[in-house]
Structure 1
Amino acid sequence: MTDTTIPPVRTGGSALAAAQSPAANKFYFIAWRWHFYAGLYVIPFLIMLATTGLVMLWISWMAGVGAERMAVQPGGVALSASTLQMAAEAAIPGGRAIQYVEPLAADRVAVFSVATEAGNTGVALSPYTGEVLHTFPWRAGAYDLANKIHGTLLLGAFGDRLIEIAASLGLVMVASGVYLHWPRRGASWRNALVPRLSARGRTFWKSLHGVVGFWVSLMLIVFLISGLSWAGIWGEKIVQAWSTFPAEKWDSVPLSDDVHAGMNHGAAKEVPWGLEQTPMPASGSLKGTAAIEGTVDIDSVADFARSLGFVGRFQVNLPKGDAGVWTISHDSMSNDGPDPAADRTIHIDRFTGNVLADVRYADYSPYAKAMAWGIAFHEGDLGVWNFVLNTVFCLSVIGVAVSGLVMWWRRRPSGAGRLAAPPRPEDVPFWKGAAALVVVLGIAFPLAGATIVAVLLLDATLLRLLPGLRRALA
Structure 2
Amino acid sequence: MSINTEDAGNASAPSRFYLAAWRWHFYAGLFVIPFLMTLAVTGMTMMYVGYFDGRDGENIHVPKVGETPMPISDQAAAALASQPGSTLVEWLKGRSAESVSVFRINSDGVQSMVAVDPYQGDIVETWVRRDGWYDFADSIHSDLLLGTTGDRLLEIAAGFAIVLTVTGLYLWWPRDRSFVRALLPFIEGRGRPVWKILHESIGIYVSLLLVLFLITGMAWTGIWGDKLVQAWNTFPAEKWNEVPLSDKTHASMNHGAISDVPWALEQTPMPASGSDAGIVGIASGVPVTIDSIASLAEEIGFNARFRVAYPGGESGVWTINQDTMSADAKDPFSDRTVHVDQYTGRVLANVFFADYSLAGKAMAVGIPLHMGLVGLWNLILNTLVCLSVIFLCVSGLMMWWLRRPKGSAFRVFAPKTPENLPHWRGAMILMLFLSLAFPLVGVTLLTVLVLDYLIVKRVPMLRRALG
TMscore range, shorter length: over 0.9
CA separation of 1:289 and 1:118: change in aligned 2, threshold 3 A: closer
* 3-state SS of paired residue (1:25): helix
- Matching of residues 22-421 of structure 1 within 5 Å: 22=12, 25-72=15-62, 73-185=64-176, 187-197=177-187, 199-293=189-283, 294-416=286-408, 417-421=410-414
TM-score by length of 2: 0.95
CA contact (8 A) 1:325 1:349 kept: yes
What is the aligned-residue identity percentage? 50
* 3-state SS of paired residue (1:174): helix
Residues 140-170 of structure 1 deviation map (CA, whole Å, 9 limit, x = unaligned): 2111111111110011111100000000111
* 3-state SS of paired residue (2:220): coil
TM-score by length of 1: 0.94
Give the alignment partner of residue 447 of structure 1, picking from 440, 444, 447.
440
Is 1:472 paired with 2:465? yes
* 3-state SS of paired residue (2:56): coil
* 3-state SS of paired residue (2:344): coil
Residues 108-162 of structure 1 deviation map (CA, whole Å, 9 limit, x = unaligned): 1110111011511111111111111111111121111111111100111111000
* 3-state SS of paired residue (2:304): coil
CA contact (8 A) 1:66 1:141 kept: no
Residues 312-331 of structure 1 deviation map (CA, whole Å, 9 limit, x = unaligned): 21101001111111000011
CA separation of 1:66 and 1:197: change in aligned 2, threshold 3 A: farther
Q: CA deviation at 1:198?
A: 5.2
CA contact (8 A) 2:336 2:352 kept: yes
* 3-state SS of paired residue (1:323): coil
The one-letter code matched in structure 1 to 2:157 is A
Q: CA deviation at 1:66?
A: 2.8
Corresponding residue for residue 449 of structure 2: 456
The one-letter code matched in structure 2 to 1:28 is Y
Residues 148-194 of structure 1 deviation map (CA, whole Å, 9 limit, x = unaligned): 11110011111100000000111110000011011112x13344222
The one-letter code matched in structure 1 to 2:363 is M
Residues 221-257 of structure 1 deviation map (CA, whole Å, 9 limit, x = unaligned): 1111111111110110001000011112212211111
Matched residues, number? 463
Q: CA deviation at 1:386?
A: 1.0
Corresponding residue for residue 10 of structure 1: none
Counterpart Cα distance in 2 of 1:20 and 1:442: 33
The one-letter code matched in structure 1 to 2:392 is V
Structure 1, gaps ≥5 residues long? 8-13
Residues 337-386 of structure 1 deviation map (CA, whole Å, 9 limit, x = unaligned): 11111111111111011111111111101100011010111111211211
Counterpart Cα distance in 2 of 1:260 and 1:178: 40
Q: CA deviation at 1:24?
A: 7.0
Farther-moved stretch of structure 1 (302-311 vs 125-134): 302-311
Counterpart Cα distance in 2 of 1:305 and 1:206: 55
Q: CA deviation at 1:460?
A: 3.7
CA contact (8 A) 1:66 1:136 kept: no
The one-letter code matched in structure 2 to 1:105 is S
Counterpart Cα distance in 1 of 2:349 and 2:185: 54
The one-letter code matched in structure 2 to 1:454 is T
Corresponding residue for residue 422 of structure 1: 415
CA separation of 1:381 and 1:66: change in aligned 2, threshold 3 A: same
CA contact (8 A) 2:431 2:446 kept: no
Counterpart Cα distance in 2 of 1:365 and 1:243: 6
